[in-house]
Structure 1
Amino acid sequence: MEMLARVECATIERGTKEGRGVDVSGAWTGEAPRGVITLVFTDIQSYSEMSERYRGAFRSLLEQHNALLRALCRQYGGYEVKAWGDAFFFAFGSAEEAARFALHAQHAILNTSWQLTLTDGSIEQVPLRIRIGMHTGEPEPILHPDGTVDYVGPDVNRASRVCAAAHGGQILLSSATHALVMNALGNTVQFRNLGQYWLKGVGRERLWQMWQQELPATFPPPNAPRAELHNLTVAETPLVGREREVEELAALVLRPNHMLITLVGPSGVGKTRLAQAVAEALLEHFADGVWFVPLDGLTTPEAVAQRIIQELPMQLRADTDPLQQLVEYAHGRTMLLVLDGIESTAAVTEVVRALIQGAVGLRLLVASLNPLHLRVEHLYEVKPLNVPPPSADRDPMLLERYGAVQLLLIGARRHAPDFEITPTNASAIAELCRQLDGLPLALELTAARLALLSPTELLKRLDERFQILQTRNPDMPPRQRALQSAIEWSYGQLDAPIRAFFEQLSVFSGSFSVEDVEAICESASPIDDLLELHQRAMLIEIHHKDERRFRLLNPMRLFALGMLREKPEMDAKIRQRHAEYFLQVARACLAQVRTPFENEAMRLAELQMDNMRAAMEWFTRQGDWARRAEIALRLSQLCDRLGWLLKATTYLQDALDSALFLDEAQMELLTELTLQRAALQYEQHHWEDALQTAQDALARYESLGSLPGQARSHNLIGLILLRVSRFDEAYTHFQRALQGFMQANEPVWVALALNNLGLLEYERGRFDEATRFLQQAAQRQRTLGDMRGLSETLNNLGAVHQLQGNTAAALRYFSESLEYEAQIGNRLGIARGLCNLGEVLMLQGETLPAARHLLAAMQLFQQYGSPDYDYALALYQRLMLDEDTDARLQTECQNRALEDLLQWARIL
């Protein structure tokens, strides 16, 4: 057997020597084996370094290497599963033939002259060597549409990891393959038991080296940690969406003076699984081992020390204190202890303190609900997996990029292998992930239910107690067999005052600031209470410029809300305080409109929109119709300023519904509501209705004697008349508005009236007069810091210059206007700016930039309910793009968030 192999190896070198030779004409396309098969992985040692060094010159050697291995695969009846770069994945129906292939391949590689011709004409000999790893199992075959077969499953991963452990020129076998070939290849083939090693992602494996005479027999230890130096087991659940955290934590553990790192977070957030992954990543860095120690149910230092000793390669002596023995063993050793399942922080803290003081080379990674509060401790907050924003709901491929969706899919396919994201269920899947806030335990429990219920059905069954999310799996700790139990576990670790504070935080919908909490919640020290909850990772921090904002995880919030409802008096008191506070916040945000502080006010309004809506719901429950009408009106006005026309209209209807219960005592509020209704009718191009409603508002303000209200009504009536080309009447109302604003000493509105007079002259074709009014308005607005007004005026100046044929000036004005609209977050203002820029670019013959601007404008107009969509669509159709370009741009434009959409559109 040895002679046959050696003769074939000698004749395969280039197919030119005496002997049988080998056909190297192409890939072997024989039938893929089924059932129990032997999987073989190969790759070139130091391939990346050689390809980087030799660049294009290395291509010929790679092709020669590929042809050689493909020829041998065919000769021994193998099947080429796939090839990438320098690597191959082969499958053999016979372990013996796979072993013969591997031996022959190493002989051939060793006996081939691997020469390169460099760019200067010189020839260099390259010491090319390959690694080969083999494992026998029963992987799952996958048939591709092109007829090729792939394999998936744990056996494939194990074979790949066996190869990764090898060195160049070496053949490594798993125990399964070794058992099949050890007595089948003759006495010239030798095997060496290398011992047990830990293969990343697959666990323990006893590795065997196989070689023949003339092949190298001596190699360094395998590229894997020895299994004897740790007690890790293969994780039962996959690690999804945690690559960054594993990398960060591994670096922290290895950093000098970082003896203790504590992973904090609520039960079910994935601390244990993350700690396991970090431990596995660090196996090669600790000469004395990595040891995972579960501490569930232990409440004394002695019990904790004894449990750690049980996991270490040491014997517990009865004559000495367990903690003392543990410290003595750890002293002078370089090892990592991973402590998990902590129930008594005090007991663990005492043991950890003693270890830190007595064992300098020791590192401790602790997974806990609570910090240990030691001076040397470094806290690492474990956050839930990232969840998709609503903008991604319609794109299944985009959804699968988010960790929460990935984990949900993996779990669902464990129970229903054919489960897939489709356009039909994508939105419900994304909403499930958001409702569960990316909490891994919640996602795993949800995944099991998807075998019986559709995502939409499951979403409907979620309640604040999440009763449907539970399992009978005996492998899970009792507290993690139901989401409710996991949350109760975290809640139960809090002291009574912190529990009450935690419950009160549940009244916040969305995020909140320290100032918000101090205004609403009852606590002797709200900042300290927030800090403690944050250290336990029961609060998520949200970065908003220089302000720290927080929010409760949604499952946590719903649980706390249920607990608060069991205390009716406190519930009512906190909710009333919350509702009144956020009515004031809405008023304060609107007071900053058309001031230098509008940008920040609008961002705050966006952040607090959920809280304002919750306030409206509370006023509804209380039957407080005046306050409900006012906060609905404020929400409508804020949404209008943000360009959310559909939402503004919805909130306006809420306000109108409440107004049915009001009387003449609330006449001022009713009149303001009437003017807002007219403004939205104007935005929706309902000119006749808008005119009648605005005239009604004017009459009401006249009866109230409100000069500013009358001026605002005249201004809106002028705009409506302008749109229906009743220019003389519009001029009269604009002049009355200007006089009223001047008498009321409202300089911002004076500038606005000048802008509208300029707009009127533009519509009349009097461009010089239009420019004069608009420049006056712009100068005042710059002085006043009114970015909203300035953006409108600059946009009008751009329109004047466009009609005059000065496209360069038009582009400049439109671009500056768009920048201001983006700063204040006015979606419809942004859309109009993009539309105007697109039109000018179209006139300049810049087809693709024009198309991107117009498509982005159309998406925003459609999303926020503006009839200006039709105008943008008509311009886009005039571009007459070919079908392929149109389809490509439409696809690129879809599902982009606002900032990303702007960047895409502005690629000039």
Structure 2
Amino acid sequence: MTEAARKLLSILARLPGGASQADLARLVPGEAEAAGRLTTLGLIHVDEFSRRSAHPFIREYVSTALPLQPEELSRVIAHYGGLAALFGPRVGGTKGAEALELLRVELENIEAMLLEGLQRAEVQVVIDQILDLNNFWRFSGYGSSHVVAKARTVAQKRGDRLREALCLQVEGQILLERSSHREAEALFRKALPVFKQADPELSEKRSTLGYARCIRGIGSIALDGQRLDEAESSFQQALHLFEKVGSPLSEGNCIHCLGKVGLERGLLQEARLKFVEAKHLFERLEDRLGRAYCLRNLGELDASPALLEEARTLFSEVGNLRGQAHSIRCLGNLALKRSALDDAQALYEQARPLLKRVGSLRGEANCLMGLGNVALQRSQPEIARVHFEEASQLFERVEDKRSLAQCERHLETLRS
């Protein structure tokens, strides 16, 4: 076996997701010839996309019998950590969809190498690369928060208060998006005093931003729980902190959140003004994601399919599957209102698996409730009952008492 073949096989032994030819070519000179030899020997498989992989049994044996040299492993860790650092922050931006797809394909390898990197000397860089994946994890539903939790433990042991707090914040944000509200709130509250322990001379702005994002996260949980005074207070507090450190994008997010509070209170004009204010700010900043959120809310207020379609397109372009799915669901609501039952059903059925994918239990429940209402209008009581019962179970899990009561009223009517 040539040195290039040995190195290629040893690298693939550390990569659970296989690897692209382009990535391996950067890591192994003479990769193409080496891959041909290993394929002939039956040690690796090359698929129709030229992606190389080794069978788990071979990977297990090679990782022990032919381990990578420390400097070789460092290069692999740096490569996949670099993908996280480069493409993670792009999710939610102009080319977010492309970034999300690349990260999705390489996620197993990226997470494996980041966990490996947490055991090495350059751990601060690795933790920052993990934090760079925040938008990807939140918007796509792929991966889990265990990598962030591991990074938090490492930062805590090293006495790195800033990175410990940032890991708590990001872990909380991921769990919030995946409907684990109690766990998310506990993490946000745990992060607050840790941010205050970080060295202000080295990281005051970063600490303040993280602290404010935790306050905003607590506000989002209060909003979902219909604790509207607490939500408003949290958003106002976070807004003040964002203004203090000069983060206009985050200010826009808080203004948008205050609009959602107004919407929940039934103050439609007040909500509209907040959404429009936030939209103008996002447009000035050329932030397409923030603009998409505002368009979706304005589309709901105005019962405008055009605004909701525009929001859906923007969410798709920036790589936010969650926002895309909710826009589709809202289009289903409009179709139901105009009694376009086939359209409504198709839209709910399109949105539901996406919402399940990203962990939005409330969104999935709303689709089920919509499908129940479609069945009611078609005089299909048994189908409606099944959908309302499934929706009730999800609403109960997220403690959405108002929506749960709506489902129970429908079920009571069906029983009578």
Q: What range is the shorter-chain TM-score in?
A: 0.7 to 0.9
Displacement of 1:597 in angstroms is: 3.5
Q: Find the counterpart in structure 1 of residue 84 from structure 2.
A: 586
Answer yes or no: is 1:776 the counterpart of 2:290. no
What letter matches 2:251 in structure 1? V
Displacement of 1:838 in angstroms is: 0.9
> What residue ranges of structure 1 are gaps of 5+ in the alignment?
1-491, 543-549, 802-806, 891-908
2 CA distance for matches of 1:668 and 1:586? 20
What letter matches 2:19 in structure 1? S
Q: Find the counterpart in structure 2 of residue 830 from structure 1.
A: 324
Q: Indicate the SS of the match to 2:160.
A: helix
2 CA distance for matches of 1:497 and 1:683? 46
Contact 2:148 2:167 in 1 (8 A): yes
Displacement of 1:610 in angstroms is: 1.9
Contact 1:504 1:574 in 2 (8 A): no
Answer yes or no: is 1:530 the counterpart of 2:32. yes
State the Cα deviation string for residues 36-87 of structure 1 (Å, max 9, x = none): xxxxxxxxxxxxxxxxxxxxxxxxxxxxxxxxxxxxxxxxxxxxxxxxxxxx
Q: Which moved more, 1:777-786 or 1:832-841?
A: 777-786
2:368 maps to which of 865, 873, 878: 873
TM-score normalised by length of structure 2:
0.74
**Correspondence 1:54-69 to 2 at 5 A:** none
Q: Find the counterpart in structure 2 of residue 574 from structure 1.
A: 72
CA radius of gyration, larger in: 1
Contact 1:691 1:717 in 2 (8 A): yes
1 CA distance for matches of 2:51 and 2:60? 14
What letter matches 2:32 in structure 1? L
2 CA distance for matches of 1:499 and 1:870? 52
1 CA distance for matches of 2:60 and 2:70? 12
1 CA distance for matches of 2:327 and 2:128? 32
Q: Find the counterpart in structure 2 of residue 552 from structure 1.
A: 52
Q: Indicate the SS of the match to 1:845.
A: coil
Displacement of 1:853 in angstroms is: 1.1
Q: Indicate the SS of the match to 2:51.
A: strand
**Correspondence 1:68-83 to 2 at 5 A:** none
Contact 1:818 1:830 in 2 (8 A): yes
Answer yes or no: is 1:653 the counterpart of 2:146. yes
2 CA distance for matches of 1:837 and 1:885? 25
Q: Find the counterpart in structure 2 of residue 679 from structure 1.
A: 173
Q: Indicate the SS of the match to 1:860.
A: helix
Contact 1:677 1:693 in 2 (8 A): yes
Contact 1:831 1:858 in 2 (8 A): yes
Displacement of 1:800 in angstroms is: 2.0
1:511 maps to which of 15, 19, 37: 19
1:597 maps to which of 95, 100, 117: 95
Q: Find the counterpart in structure 1 of residue 159 from structure 2.
A: 665
What letter matches 2:298 in structure 1? L
Displacement of 1:517 in angstroms is: 3.7
1 CA distance for matches of 2:25 and 2:382? 52
Q: Find the counterpart in structure 1 of residue 414 from structure 2.
A: none
2 CA distance for matches of 1:677 and 1:539? 36
Q: Which moved more, 1:623-632 or 1:670-679?
A: 623-632
Displacement of 1:609 in angstroms is: 0.6
Contact 2:332 2:348 in 1 (8 A): yes
**Change in 2 beyond 3 A, CA 1:793/1:879:** same
Displacement of 1:877 in angstroms is: 0.8
Displacement of 1:883 in angstroms is: 6.6
Higher helix fraction (1 or 2): 2
Displacement of 1:554 in angstroms is: 3.8
Q: Find the counterpart in structure 2 of residue 755 from structure 1.
A: 256
Q: Find the counterpart in structure 2 of residue 742 from structure 1.
A: 243
Q: Find the counterpart in structure 1 of residue 208 from structure 2.
A: 707
Contact 2:298 2:307 in 1 (8 A): yes
Displacement of 1:497 in angstroms is: 4.7
> What residue ranges of structure 2 are gaps of 5+ in the alignment?
40-44, 199-203, 388-416
State the Cα deviation string for residues 106-125 of structure 1 (Å, max 9, x = none): xxxxxxxxxxxxxxxxxxxx
**Correspondence 1:272-311 to 2 at 5 A:** none
2:110 maps to which of 594, 603, 612: 612
State the Cα deviation string for residues 317-349 of structure 1 (Å, max 9, x = none): xxxxxxxxxxxxxxxxxxxxxxxxxxxxxxxxx
State the Cα deviation string for residues 412-441 of structure 1 (Å, max 9, x = none): xxxxxxxxxxxxxxxxxxxxxxxxxxxxxx
What letter matches 1:836 in structure 2? C
State the Cα deviation string for residues 225-273 of structure 1 (Å, max 9, x = none): xxxxxxxxxxxxxxxxxxxxxxxxxxxxxxxxxxxxxxxxxxxxxxxxx
2 CA distance for matches of 1:746 and 1:594? 17
**Correspondence 1:633-644 to 2 at 5 A:** 638-644=136-142
Answer yes or no: is 1:721 the counterpart of 2:222. yes
What letter matches 1:725 in structure 2? Q
What letter matches 1:870 in structure 2? A
**Change in 2 beyond 3 A, CA 1:863/1:563:** closer
**Correspondence 1:399-548 to 2 at 5 A:** 496-500=2-6, 502-506=8-12, 507-508=14-15, 509-512=17-20, 514=22, 517-518=25-26, 520-521=27-28, 523=29, 526=30, 529-530=31-32, 533=35, 539-540=46-47, 542=49
State the Cα deviation string for residues 168-224 of structure 1 (Å, max 9, x = none): xxxxxxxxxxxxxxxxxxxxxxxxxxxxxxxxxxxxxxxxxxxxxxxxxxxxxxxxx
TM-score normalised by length of structure 1:
0.36
Displacement of 1:654 in angstroms is: 4.6
Q: Which has the higher contact order (CA 8 A, sep 6+)?
A: 2
**Change in 2 beyond 3 A, CA 1:540/1:501:** farther
CA-atom RMSD, angstroms?
Answer: 3.7
**Change in 2 beyond 3 A, CA 1:882/1:728:** closer
1 CA distance for matches of 2:185 and 2:3? 57
2 CA distance for matches of 1:564 and 1:689? 36
Displacement of 1:829 in angstroms is: 2.3
**Change in 2 beyond 3 A, CA 1:684/1:611:** closer
Contact 1:834 1:857 in 2 (8 A): yes
Contact 1:685 1:867 in 2 (8 A): yes
2 CA distance for matches of 1:658 and 1:532? 35
State the Cα deviation string for residues 740-769 of structure 1 (Å, max 9, x = none): 333333332232222222222222323223
Contact 1:679 1:690 in 2 (8 A): yes
**Correspondence 1:113-124 to 2 at 5 A:** none
Q: Indicate the SS of the match to 1:879.
A: helix
**Change in 2 beyond 3 A, CA 1:884/1:870:** closer
What letter matches 1:591 in structure 2? P
Answer yes or no: is 1:791 the counterpart of 2:292. yes
2 CA distance for matches of 1:639 and 1:861? 14
Contact 2:118 2:127 in 1 (8 A): no
Displacement of 1:856 in angstroms is: 2.3
Q: Find the counterpart in structure 1 of residue 412 from structure 2.
A: none
2:347 maps to which of 853, 870, 876: 853
1 CA distance for matches of 2:159 and 2:352? 44
Q: Indicate the SS of the match to 1:734.
A: helix
